[in-house]
Amino acid sequence: MRMSSEKTLARTGVYAFLVISAAFFLMPFYVMVVTSLKTMDEIRVTSIFALPDTPTLQAWVTAWQSACTGLNCNGLSVGFFNSVMIMVPATVFSILLGAVTGYALSFWRPKGTGLIFGILLVAAFIPYQVFIYPLVRMLSQVGLYNSLAGIVAIHVIFGMPIMVLLFRNYYAGLPRDLFSAARVDGGGFWVIFIRLILPLSPPILIVAVILQSTHIWNDFLFGLVFAGSDNQPMTVLLNNIVNSTQGEKAYNVNMAATILTAAVPLIIYLASGRWFVRGIAAGAVKG
Amino acid sequence: MAKFSGTRAHVYLAMLPVWIIVLVALVSSTVWTFVISLTNSKLLPVYKFNFFHQYELLLKQPAWQVAVSNLIVFGVLFIAICLVFGFVMAIMMDQRIRGEAFFRTVFLYPYAMSFVVTGLVWQWVLNPGFGIQAAVRGLGFENFTFDWIVQPDRAIYILVLAAVWQGSGLVMAILLAGLRGVDEDLWKATRIDGIAKWRVYTSIVLPIIAPMAATATVLLAVSVVKAYDLVVALTGGGPGNATEVPAKFVMENLFARQNVALANAGAIMMLVAVIAILVPMYYARRYMAQKAEV
Amino acid sequence: MKTLSLAFATTAMAALTTGAATAQSAEVIHWWTSAAESAGVGVIADAYGDTGGEWVDQAVAGSDAAKTSAISRMVGGNPPDAAQFNLGADIDNLVDSAVLAPIDAVAEANDWASVMPQAVLDAVTRDGHVYGVPIQLQGTNFLFASADALDKVGAGMPQTWDEFFETGDKLREAGIVPFAQAGDRDVWFMNTFQAVLASVLGTEEWGQFTGPDGAEFVRSEAFRPVAEIMAKLPSYADSGVSGRQWNITNQMILNGEAGFFIMGGWAIGEIGAAGLTPGKEVLCGVGPNHAPLVVAGDVWAMPAKGDGLTEAQAKLAEVTTSVEVQAEFTSTMGSLPVRSGVDTSKFNACAAAGAKAISDGNSVMALFINFSPEKLGALGSELKVLWVDPDATADDYVETVAGILENY
């Protein structure tokens, strides 16, 4: 009896912590949602926390299909597919490359491991804005400047430091005996990666997807500079809607546009649930 | 033996793309950045050298010194709070709770949002005129005061608050991934031995997921050094220069002030500082590891 | 010169007659993205389209982002036909790097020398060549006031700074913020300073401040009142300045929450958008002391593509500066035309005050015109620091401003 009441107390504590934390995280979101449902006249006079008098979805409709992003007043919708076209290949390639490199660095330790890891680590800290001009020159020399392939390449390049770091450190936490046993069994580089390492990787793969897809989806500067006018991502349009310096500011449309732009990463976060399952690693070891 | 060398060849083949990226894109761009910092380039790169003149200018600027010291305060607080808060959240999430997907999404969503607008929302919420302070006073607590965002000596903590809001969910996700990688048998063993759960987390699990904690720390540190959007959206560097940071200095000089050389000198200085912190840490860890093996 | 303009006329004619068959597309990067701004750009785009050309719109919000996009495309060898820059020193570095095409032919053919104010023409001329197409002018130092707030304390629009501070004291007693200041960008502090500067110096002494002996002038008695007003002004603002966007300050005036604010002509549009009439619920004037209008503006920079100006570029330059486009564009944007001969009778009270100041010769070119972006940036950030320092004295302002004029 004592045990179970203690347990109930602990469970209550866990949920209390989670709910209070969630409230902290959701507070700005609440302000964004209620603001997006108000008219500008209402925003000018009511408290930011007040619920809308007569909620309207007009701002959402405007943000999606008729907000002006320059001469074109077609809202964010235009950029949605461009963003998908950029995000999917760039995320897949950078994660693949990161996983293979992280695996090679932590288990095979080829010559130059320390050097390459050090350079990647340091490179992660450079504000990449300063890289714009040299990269523009390089890409235009190979004919990739202002193209879909070019922007994907840029994301793969700048995703590399973080991806390699992520996978190498995760693999460093795995028991080395597993790898040694597989080597003794005569497994080659790719066989061990595919048969042993990948099945152990789902939790870190999902973190990598969260990181990379969000980074790429939310990138503004690279999209602006490298993607070219035919491939403009959603964030460039979002910026055009919310960021005009001297024009009037439609806060309701801005809030709706921001939530809409974040929708894809949010869905990824929500869907990643079943991959975060405890025991996958344990199961793989036994099986 | 032949098979062995064949496998080795595969290893080097697998490493080829990353070597190309590192050498062609990252190293050569960094060298270029350094070269430009030695010139007097304004808007477009020109190769008229005046060597360390930009560095002299940079180090003499009070704006740069203020930005660096702001960054240290911000960085230490932000990383420490994120790690602790993120770790606690990860542990709570790991208690086989209901609604895990909901909580995970709630803790992570700030990371998905462009700071251009969420920064503005924070600014509204924290504005003494119509944010939390005004709302609480409206409830009858006339003397309630929460105006740190407009106080020069407090605004930096507001920056930390908003940054923790954005970054701690990611730390939670990474550490949770680490926790999920911990062998189930370990838990069974400790349960049989009757060891308290919190002790298992702090003294057994934490060392196991240390590499993941290191990853999280590096990610946080990267976002500290690059902190820019947050500052621009939340405080614009103010009040006064209370929340100016080096990345904002670099960005301003790169574009608005049309001083590419000085901006690049700033970027190189940031890089030097990062190396100065990372290299001793790397050797210290290697030394500890060697000692542990002996 | 005659042959040049003749040559231009022939090519223009050729383009007109062949029409859409040889539609020349002009790709244009600009930062006008809000609804009202888009409508303004639409005026130029339509006029360009009417000549048979095709307008390819590249809008990027935020001047820094737009310039980044334009400059990186110049670096990458794929420049747009035209890119928006600020009138004045903003294009100096582009001219120095020889990436722009001179627009002399169009300027001569359309007689810019006689239809544009000399100061505007000077601001786009480097070494005798014209390197930018003036698009619009903008007054930056309008003093707006809430008619409601002034009524409450029984005051009118202040004619001098003494009156301004007197009214400010009364407003404060009535629980109204006397002066609303924006603070999300350093440039707003620069803008306020510039307005004070103009109101004290007038057109005569303005040149001494921007001239080579500026630092010496700042340390003289003539500058003293500027420093004193600047040191006094922050105590008339509320504490929420930091991070505040300019349109929030505008709202404070619309709500009657604040008495005064200083902003450029673009605020006039926002007043209209809120359903109020500029000049009625919101009073406006050009600074106290019959201040000269401080004029800034925008230009098209035209990157060189091969030999000199392309036909598309020449046509865009001509269309932009035509009387018809200037009239419609500036009334849509709430700005001022770059040339004479434009009918300003339909302007609202605020914009008309600006237009009158220019036609009366009571105007000066903004600090953006002469000062490098670096100098302006330093000035803005230093002024922002002084603003929050409660102990900042007039002497501090003198030393800080003089120091920047010396060092940059």
Contact across the interface for A276 and B103, Cβ inside 8 Å: no
pLDDT at A131: 83
pLDDT digits (tens, 9 = 90+) for B224-242: 988 888 888 888 888 988 9
Fold agreement (C2-138+296-359, C142-294+362-407): yes
Please give the share of chain B, as a percent, with pLDDT higher than 90: 32
pLDDT of residue C9: 42
CA distance A263 to chain B (A): 8
Predicted confidence band of residue A1 (pLDDT cuts 50, 70, 90) = very low
Quick one: pLDDT band at residue B4, thresholds 50, 70, 90?
low
Rounded to the nearest angstrom, the minimum Cα separation between B74 and chain C is 18
- Give the C-alpha distances (Å, rounded to integers) separating C257 from A20, A187, B129, C252, C264: 35, 75, 11, 5, 20
Which residues in chain C come in under a pLDDT of 50? 1-22
Worst-scoring range by mean pLDDT, A11-15, A128-132, B125-129, B152-156?
A128-132
Q: Do A139 and C31 touch (CB under 8 A)?
A: no
A112 CB-contact burial (10 Å; exposed 0-12 / middle 13-18 / buried 19+): middle
pLDDT at residue B18, as a whole number = 92
**How many angstroms from the chain centroid is the CA of residue C116?**
16
B255 Cα distance to chain centroid = 23
Residue among A11, A17, A210 minimizing CB distance to B173: A210
Residues comprising chain B, all counted: 294
For residue B210, pLDDT beyond 80: yes
CA dist list (Å): A225 to B84, C60, C332: 38, 11, 30
Per-residue pLDDT reduced to its tens digit, A165-204: 999 989 988 888 888 998 888 888 999 999 999 988 888 9
Dihedral angle, C-alpha A251, A256, A262, A264, nearest 10 ° = -160
| Cα–Cα distance for residue pair C37/C60, rounded to 1 Å | 12
Q: Which residues of A touch C264 (CB under 8 A)?
A: 246
Q: Do B257 and C67 touch (CB under 8 A)?
A: no
A50 in contact with chain B, both atoms CB, cutoff 8 A: no
Q: What number is the average pLDDT over the span B167-183?
A: 90
Name which of C214, C238, C213 is nearest C226 in CA terms.
Answer: C214
User: What local confidence, expressed as pLDDT, does residue B16 receive?
Assistant: 92
**Nearest residue to A100 via CA among B207, B32, B19:** B19
The pLDDT value given to residue C4:
41
Does the pLDDT of residue A81 top 60, yes or no? Answer: yes
d(C-alpha C228, C-alpha C14), whole Å? 61
From A107-116, A127-136, A264-273, the region with the lowest mean pLDDT: A127-136
Distance CA C149, CA C177 (A): 10
Just give the CATH number of C2-138+296-359: 3.40.190.10
Three-state SS string over chain B comes to: CHHHHHHHHHHHHHHHHHHHHHHHHHHHHHHHHHHHHCECCCCCCCCCECCCHHHHHHHHCHHHHHHHHHHHHHHHHHHHHHHHHHHHHHHHHCCCCCCHHHHHHHHHHHHHCCHHHHHHHHHHHHCCCCCHHHHHHHCCCCCCCCCHHHCCCCHHHHHHHHHHHHHHHHHHHHHHHHHHCCCHHHHHHHHHHCCCHHHHHHHHHHHHCHHHHHHHHHHHHHHHHCCCHHHHHHCCCCCCCCCCCHHHHHHHHHHHCCCHHHHHHHHHHHHHHHHHHHHHHHHHHHHHHHHHHC
What is the three-class DSSP state of A244? coil
Number of Cβ within a 10 Å radius of residue C284: 23
Residue B215 touches chain A, beta carbons under 8 Å:
yes
A140: chain C residues, CB-CB within 8 Å = 76-78
Residue B293 pLDDT level (bands cut at 50, 70, 90): low
Given a cut of 80, whether residue A284 has pLDDT beyond it is no
Residue A17 scores a pLDDT above 60 = yes
| Concatenated DSSP letters of C349-401 | HHHHHHHHHHHTT-EEE-HHHHS-HHHHHHHHHHHHHHHH-TT--HHHHHHHH
Taking all residues of chain B, what is their mean pLDDT, rounded to a whole number?
87
Does residue B59 lie within any of the structural domains?
no
C207 backbone dihedrals φ, ψ, rounded to 5°: -65, -25
pLDDT for res B163: 94
Are residues A247 and C65, on separate chains, in Cβ contact within 8 Å?
no
Q: Which CATH class is domain C142-294+362-407?
A: alpha beta
Nearest CB among A25, A255, A282 relative to B185 is that of A282
What is the nearest CA distance from B106 to chain C, expressed in angstroms? 27
Q: What is the number of helices (H) and of strands (E) in chain A?
A: 14, 0
* Whether the predicted pLDDT of B157 surpasses 80: yes
What the block records as the tokens of C89 is: 């020193």
* CB atoms C62 and A146 under 8 Å: no
The ipTM estimated for the assembled molecules is 0.86
Nearest-CA neighbor of B14 among A97, C198, C167? A97
CB contact set of A245 (below 8 Å; sequence gap of 6+):
C31, C61, C62, C63
CATH of the domain at B195: 1.10.3720.10
Model's pTM, two decimal places?
0.87
Torsion C365-C369-C372-C373 (CA) sign: positive
What are the domain boundaries of chain A?
2-56, 77-286
Q: Is A236 helix (H, G, I), strand (E, B) or coil?
A: helix
pLDDT for B279 equals 82
Q: Which residue of C has its CA nearest to A248?
A: C270
Contact B212, B172 (CB under 8 A): no
The shortest CB-CB distance from B240 to any of C238, C244, C388 is to C388
DSSP state of C321: T
**One-letter amino acid of C260:** F
pLDDT at B294: 54
Range picked from A151-155, B43-47, B53-57 for highest mean pLDDT: A151-155
Domain range A77-286, CATH class: mainly alpha
Q: What is the DSSP letter of A193?
A: I
Smallest Cβ distance to A244: which of C37, C58, C274?
Answer: C37
> Does the pLDDT value for residue B217 go beyond 60?
yes
Residue B213 lies in a domain: yes
User: Where is average pLDDT lowest: A131-145, B163-177, B276-290?
Assistant: B276-290
Residues B237-253 have a mean pLDDT of: 88
**Residues of chain C contacting residue B234, judged by C-beta atoms under 8 Å apart:** 243
pLDDT of residue B185: 80
> Rounded to an integer, what distance in angstroms lies between the CA atom of residue C301 and that of residue C80?
10
CA-nearest residue to A140 within chain C is: C76
Whether residue A247 has pLDDT greater than 70: no
- Considering only the C-alpha atoms of chain B, give the largest distance between any 2 of them, rounded to a whole number of Å: 82
Residue A208 touches partner C, C-beta closer than 8 Å: no
Q: Do C241 and B127 touch (CB under 8 A)?
A: no
Return residues 226-285 of B near A (CB < 8 Å). Answer: 226, 228, 247, 250-251, 254, 260, 263-264, 267, 270-271, 274-275, 278, 282
Other C-beta atoms within 10 Å of B100: how many? 17
- Residues C387, B240: C-beta atoms closer than 8 Å: yes
How close, in Å, is residue A71 to chain B by CA atoms?
A: 22
Which positions 324-383 of C are in contact with B (Cβ < 8 Å)? Answer: 372-374, 376-378, 381
